[in-house]
Amino acid sequence: MSLNAARTHEVEDDLLAAMDYCYEQGWTDGLPVVPPDMKRVEEMLLFKGRPAETVLACHPATGLECTVHAAAVNAVMAGCKPEFFPVLIAAFEAMNEPNFNFHGSTASTGGSAPLLVVSGPMIDDIGMNADVNLFGPGNRANATIGRAVRLILLNVFRMTPGLSDKSTQGNPGKYSFCIAERARDNPWPLLVEDQNYPEGVSSVTVFAGGGFCNVENHGGNTPEQVLGSIADAMANYGSITLGQSVVVLSPEHMRVVAGTGWSKRQVQEYLFSHASRTVEGMRSVGKFRQRDYDQQHNEGGSSPLVETGKIHRGLSPDDILVVMGGGDAGGHSCFIPSWSRGRASIMQSKSIGVCIDCD
């Protein structure tokens, strides 16, 4: 779609009236939006350097397509500054990977929201928050990039609540769910380094998150104590499945864990080993499925950490993404369960603003 072909609406030259017009058209997430004035959209497009008609993502069931132009219009409405736009573009390129299955995760009763985890120097370049109140309000980049994702799902892909979005309860992350990985005082390689992107490149990782679970532990002074409480949250009967996990370690918990020399890999292995339930326990709540057990315990293919007679969360330690984020004070980490109970959505990552191994 060229700029000339895009549909436009003439509204009176009054900002509040234009905001009301956006409501009347059904273009909002319930909160007021910035009217997508043509000049602002064109400024947004300058930050991408790709033709406006480039297709970023295609809905597998309806065939609806999100172009760079449509993304820019919704980014303006969400309140994004133009320099945020490359993060949004990369996020949708990641969500468009078939294994992310954005149709399923946004249509499902499970109430999923796409969590965006940004890693690398881009965070400081655009002023994202990786620190205090990480998931909360107060930072324009975090708030509006996440919000733009939802507006695109609503406006472009028509994932309309009650019609095509059948979330039973939804979750607050469906307004915005975007964080940055904290680099300051982080003793481990950053996520973007683990992903083997070249130095200086940033990445965004998308994960179909099923909610947010705070893990409080102010008394644990060893890695096993802190991680034991996180593993317990991951294994709660309401959450345990074969799906993937995101764990955001608070700096205070990180000091306990990494201060004794634990690596990220050790943490993943500990969490995978301990985030488990017995078969009897799973049966007691009606959640045991033999096919899940067989998938996790398949001969020759399962993780060596899998224990006979138990269901673990995920299929291997690789299914647990661990990053650091949040303010210096407080024994509050979090676990974010997958929307998927199995392998229906697998997290994906893309580089931001650069093309690596592109077609």
Partner 1 sequence: MQLYDPTVTGPERNHVRATALDSLEGMTIGILENGKLNASEMLHEIAALFEQRHSCTIAPVQSKNNASAPAPGETLEALARDADFLITGLGD
Measured from the CB of residue 20, what is the shortest distance to partner 1 in angstroms? Answer: 12
- 131 close to 50: Cβ distance less than 8 angstroms: no
- 84 close to 180: Cβ distance less than 8 angstroms: no
Secondary structure class of 212 (helix, strand, coil): coil
- 215 close to 230: Cβ distance less than 8 angstroms: yes
Secondary structure class of 232 (helix, strand, coil): helix
* 57 makes contact with partner 1 (CB under 8 A): no
Secondary structure class of 2 (helix, strand, coil): coil
* 6 makes contact with partner 1 (CB under 8 A): yes
Supply angle C-alpha 227, 213, 265, rounded to 5: 35
Task: Give the C-alpha separation, 209 to 174, whole Å.
Answer: 10
Binding positions for partner 1, 69-88, rule CB under 8 A: 69-70, 73-74, 77
Q: Which is nearer to partner 1, 9 or 218 (CB)?
A: 9
Specify the amino acid at residue 87: V
* 32 makes contact with partner 1 (CB under 8 A): no
Measured from the CB of residue 339, what is the shortest distance to partner 1 in angstroms? Answer: 9
Task: Give the C-alpha separation, 97 to 161, whole Å.
Answer: 23
Q: Which is nearer to partner 1, 242 or 258 (CB)?
A: 242
Structure letter (DSSP) for residue 324? E
* 229 makes contact with partner 1 (CB under 8 A): no
* 289 makes contact with partner 1 (CB under 8 A): yes
Binding positions for partner 1, 312-351, rule CB under 8 A: 343-344
Q: Of 4-12, 225-233, 234-242, 262-270, which segment contacts partner 1 by CB under 8 A?
A: 4-12
Q: Of 104-112, 225-233, 248-256, 262-270, which segment contacts partner 1 by CB under 8 A?
A: 104-112
Secondary structure class of 270 (helix, strand, coil): helix
* 155 makes contact with partner 1 (CB under 8 A): yes
Q: Of 6-14, 84-92, 172-180, 222-230, which segment contacts partner 1 by CB under 8 A?
A: 6-14
Token representation of residue 335: 């676990």
Provide the binding-site residues for partner 1, judged by CB under 8 A: 1, 6-14, 18, 21-22, 27, 35-38, 41, 60-67, 69-70, 73-74, 77, 98, 101, 103-105, 107-108, 151, 155-156, 158, 289, 343-344
